Chains A and B, each alone.
Chain A
Amino acid sequence: MKICACLRKWPVIILMLLAPSALWAGDLLMVRSQLSFSDTQSKIEEEINALGYFTSTPRRVDIDLVSAGFSNGTYSVIAYGKPDKIKALAENYPELTPFLPPQIVIFGERKESLLVAMSPLYLAEFFTQPELIETFKLWNRDLQIILENVRDAR
């Protein structure tokens, strides 16, 4: 591939600004589901439970928002976790508590839905205890499976 003029002229500044860093890569997991909002909500609960996690009742956060002028403010939050694990983490690592239990946000977008979650690996950059890293890796693997299954559901 030939190098375009812009890169020859501005190699240093632009490439410095864009230097690939771990900064944004994969910190956020986002997936589009072909199912409606409510079907996505039940599907995700099903997939979470299938991996042995418990789910909280989905919280609808959008109730006031429609009246505040949002069109299509369908949006809910599901928290999930394995009870013993969440309990133990909360007791032993108080600084992790603002991120417990992990959550997935669901938005209705036309006939489809969007799922957004923080990558558990993101936390590994701040909480470096080996036990936690292991947990984040496991959560990440499971969350990927959950999100991909919801994404592929028809």
Chain B
Amino acid sequence: MGRPEVTSDRDEGSEGGRLYALHCSACHGNYGLGGVGIPLALDDFLESVTDRYIALTIRFGRPGRVMPPFPRLTGHEVLAITKYIRSLHWADEPQFSSEPVVGDPVAGRGLFAAFCAQCHGANGEGGQGTGVSFSRPRFKSILAPALNNAGFLASASDQIIKHSLIQGREGTPMRSVPALGLSEQDINDLVSYIRSFQNQLTKQVIIKRPADAVLLQQSPYSYQQTIENVKKAVADSDYSVVREQLLGEGIIDPDEGERKQYVIYFANLEMLSDGLGRDPRIGLFLPGKIVIAEYEGVVKVLTSNPKQYAALFNNMALNDFAEALYRTYRTILQAAVL
């Protein structure tokens, strides 16, 4: 599937353009052409959503689906960004009534399984991956967003969803639903089914941030012995030490006197490919890193706490990976000080 072209007279010099470049372009691409996030400069997208939808999406983000919330932007800034996105397309903001769409969610459920689930997931959880070319080969098309998402459901009115289904999104895999042979009643049923995802939101796994940013064990062994213990524990857990060095090597002059902070980096291919495949930004914390530090005669073994990773990247696809890495770290730390 092709990516959209830019055709309109957008204004990058404006305040909104500047704020967009700062907060959004990393993911949505310069000029809204997409990248990690879905494209915003699509005619069909901008003809299907109101400014309010865009503004609320900025405020709320999409919890657990990479798109962050921006609670610290002022109302004025949100408006400026919204205007800039609107300027990526020639047409005016569409107007929709606030009437709820009345349909049969049970019928909608069947239609969803038949026509939508292959892209949006069986329960509307969206496509897997982040869209960074690293984890998603670039020949793959745009990722289907999560529809069972609190941020989406709070931003999209029934009429916006209905209009999105009728219009489709040319330039993406999302087709116009009437073109699939479905009637207006079917569309109403689908909208009411999507709306019913709200009932399950409270049961959803919400990413939690742990109280501690580091995991720590005190070692009864000497500094040198603890280093050896960590290396052995790494090997016993089926990982390899990929690098070991004094903390800050390459930055701190080696002749700076004795330092007792040693870093052991470890990995195996499975860990790297699983983590980076879920979200390449986890590369900030991979390979695994264990510090052995002596402070006032006490030797400590430390790592960052993986339980914070999913929250940091707002990506619930990292939940299991982070949980597994947490257990690995605990095992290694405990074995090293046993």
Q: Which residues of A contact B (CB under 8 A)?
A: 1-7, 9-10, 13-15, 17-18, 20-28, 30-32, 34, 54-57, 61, 64-65, 68-75, 77, 79-81, 83, 86-87, 90-91, 94-95, 97-101, 103, 105, 107, 109-110, 114-118, 122-123, 126-127, 148, 151
Contact = CB atoms under 8 A, between A and B. Distances in A.
Contact of A25 (B68, B150, B273, B300): B68
Interface in B233-287: 247-253, 256, 259, 261, 269, 272-273, 276-277, 280-281, 283-284, 286-287
Contact of A6 (B195, B209, B281): B195
A31 B26 contact: yes
B60 interface: yes
B122 interface: no
B163 interface: no
Contacts of A114: 26, 35-36, 132
Given A4-B98, A30-B27, A100-B248, A18 B132 contact: no
A100 B247 contact: yes
Nearest to B299: A94
B256 to A, nearest CB: 6
Interface residues of B, number: 80
A17 B312 contact: no
Contacts of A123: 213
Contacts of B21: 151
Interface in B47-74: 52, 59-61, 63, 68-72
Given A6-B157, A14-B201, A90 B280 contact: no
Nearest to A33: B26
Interface of B: 21-22, 25-27, 29-30, 35-36, 52, 59-61, 63, 68-72, 98-100, 132-135, 137-139, 150-151, 153-154, 156-158, 160, 195, 198, 201-202, 206, 209, 212-214, 216, 247-253, 256, 259, 261, 269, 272-273, 276-277, 280-281, 283-284, 286-287, 289, 291, 293, 295, 300, 302-304, 311-314
Contacts of A73: 134
A18 B280 contact: no
B30 to A, nearest CB: 7
Contact of B250 (A17, A68, A79, A95): A79
B284 to A, nearest CB: 5
11 contacts: A24-B312, A25-B68, A27-B312, A28-B281, A56-B250, A56-B251, A61-B272, A75-B283, A83-B253, A98-B304, A99-B304
B30 A98 contact: no
Given A15-B154, A83-B252, A25 B133 contact: no
Nearest to B202: A13
Contact of B302 (A6, A97, A101, A107): A97
B304 A4 contact: no
A143 to B, nearest CB: 13
Contact of B154 (A6, A28, A57, A127): A6
Given A98-B303, A109-B132, 15 more contacts: A10-B153, A20-B59, A30-B281, A54-B250, A61-B283, A64-B269, A68-B269, A68-B272, A75-B276, A75-B283, A83-B252, A86-B248, A90-B259, A98-B213, A99-B304
Given A6-B153, A24-B68, A68 B248 contact: no
Residue among B63, B202, B291 having the largest count of chain A Cβ atoms under 10 Å: B291
Nearest to B256: A87
B248 A17 contact: no
A65 B153 contact: no
A105 to B, nearest CB: 5
